[in-house]
């Protein structure tokens, strides 16, 4: 595995930042009552950095403690930030090979173009699932009108590794507008989920994933809770977007439960078939979070910026192909 820290990579499109992971010391009072619920393994505070043309990001990983969380390679929160009218900030042309990128835009409007001749607009609430495979060169820039008048920019980008057998597959796109993203609601209406991938609350996502994945955006009203089933093979984490939440049951009326706030990543252990999530009581702000999981690929990783392969030789070939105009 190739790990590069604090180094600008390939024409400045990625910069990995050293971050701190805070292990959670779980004593007996924090053990879940229900042994089928997963416990918190680690909490990571995202750190603010910049990428592209100075776009503000909150990066949860990679870092010095977690280079990847198999099958996931990176999680960035884009913003939230206010774009000044006429001051365009985005991600100009850059390459990818060997993995997938998932862009989920909460606010704003991005225009996407690539070397395959594909172009489109990502609006607020939309998802673009790009399988880079053998390679693409693309850009993601604020849409013309959005750039002209400015506004709030907020979203997420997730990188998902591809198994060796799919790393050189033909690139593809799945673009899902907000109106086509399935949602689920609890019986009392206090929990709502948008399903980018996976199943929850009686609904199922429409995305076709190569590696089995769950990617869910939950919103819980104050004091509400949910128990979400998790396939036993999955690695799973949650990222708090807004509000405050509790991510474990305890045996003392939650008095000692760790309250997780915005900008924190919660990594669950693998002992259990579900996760417990609860919005803090009497909170004026609903709890919003991403719940993401997937089956580990368990293959060697060679990584250099926007290229993720299995061997160093494959990385050298990707760089050579990019320099010679053969990528995408």
pLDDT mean over 276-284: 92
Instruction: Please give the mean pLDDT across all residues of the chain.
Output: 87
- The DSSP element (H or E) to which 236 belongs, if any, is strand 235-242
The model's pLDDT over 204-257, given as tens digits with 9 standing for 90+, comes to 999 999 999 999 999 999 999 999 999 999 999 999 999 999 999 875 444 457
Q: Are 41 and 269 in contact (CB under 8 A)?
A: yes
The model's pLDDT over 42-78, given as tens digits with 9 standing for 90+, comes to 999 999 998 888 888 999 999 877 778 999 999 999 9
Q: In the prediction, which pLDDT does 86 show?
A: 82
Question: Distance between CA 314 and CA 301 in Å, rounded?
Answer: 11
* Bridge-based pairing state of the strands 244-246 and 259-261: antiparallel
What are residue 147's phi and psi, to 5 degrees? Answer: -65, -40
Beta bridge pairs of residue 276: 227
Looking at the predicted structure, is the pLDDT value of residue 191 above 80?
Answer: yes
Q: Are 207 and 285 in contact (CB under 8 A)?
A: no
Looking at the predicted structure, is the pLDDT value of residue 328 above 70?
Answer: yes
Q: In the prediction, which pLDDT does 256 show?
A: 54
From residue 74, give the alpha-carbon distance in Å to each of 59, 100, 138, 198. 8, 11, 18, 19
What percent of the chain has pLDDT above 90?
71
The set of long-range contacts for 186-189, using a CB threshold of 8 Å and a minimum separation of 24, is: 186/224, 186/226, 188/224
Question: Distance between CA 168 and CA 132 in Å, rounded?
Answer: 9
DSSP-derived secondary structure for 62-83: SSSS-S-BTTEEEEEEEEEEEE
What percent of the chain has pLDDT above 70?
87
Q: Which structural domains are found in the chain, ordered by start?
A: 20-323 (2.60.120.10)
């Amino acid at each position: 595995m190739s790990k590069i820290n604090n180094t600008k990579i390939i024409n400045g499109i990625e910069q990995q930042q050293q971050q701190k992971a805070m292990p959670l010391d779980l004593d007996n009072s924090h053990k879940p009552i229900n042994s089928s619920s997963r416990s918190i393994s680690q909490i990571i505070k995202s750190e603010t950095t910049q990428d592209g043309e100075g776009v503000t990001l909150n990066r949860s990983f990679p870092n010095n403690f977690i280079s990847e969380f198999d099958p996931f390679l990176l999680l960035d929160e884009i913003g939230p930030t206010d774009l000044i009218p006429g001051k365009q900030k985005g991600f100009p042309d850059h390459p990818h090979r060997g993995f997938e990128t998932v862009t989920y835009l909460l606010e704003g409007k991005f225009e996407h173009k690539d070397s395959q001749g594909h172009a489109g607009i990502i609006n607020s609430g939309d998802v673009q699932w790009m399988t880079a495979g053998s390679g693409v060169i693309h850009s993601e820039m604020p849409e013309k009108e959005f750039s002209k008048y400015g506004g709030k920019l907020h979203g997420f980008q997730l990188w998902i590794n591809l198994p060796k057998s799919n790393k050189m597959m033909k690139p593809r796109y799945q673009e899902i507008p907000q109106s086509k993203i399935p949602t689920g609601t609890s019986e009392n209406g206090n929990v709502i989920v948008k399903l980018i991938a996976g199943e929850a609350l009686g609904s199922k996502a429409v995305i076709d994933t190569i590696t089995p994945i769950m990617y869910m955006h939950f919103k819980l009203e104050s004091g509400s809770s949910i128990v979400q089933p998790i396939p036993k093979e999955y690695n799973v984490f949650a990222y708090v977007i807004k509000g405050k939440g509790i991510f474990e049951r305890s045996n003392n009326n939650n008095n000692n439960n760790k309250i997780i706030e915005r900008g924190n990543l919660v990594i669950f252990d693998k002992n259990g078939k579900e996760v417990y999530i609860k919005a803090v009581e009497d909170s004026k702000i609903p709890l919003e979070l991403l719940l993401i999981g997937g089956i580990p690929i368990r293959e060697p990783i060679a990584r250099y910026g926007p290229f993720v392969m299995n061997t160093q030789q494959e990385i050298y070939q990707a760089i050579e192909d990019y320099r010679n105009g053969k990528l995408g």
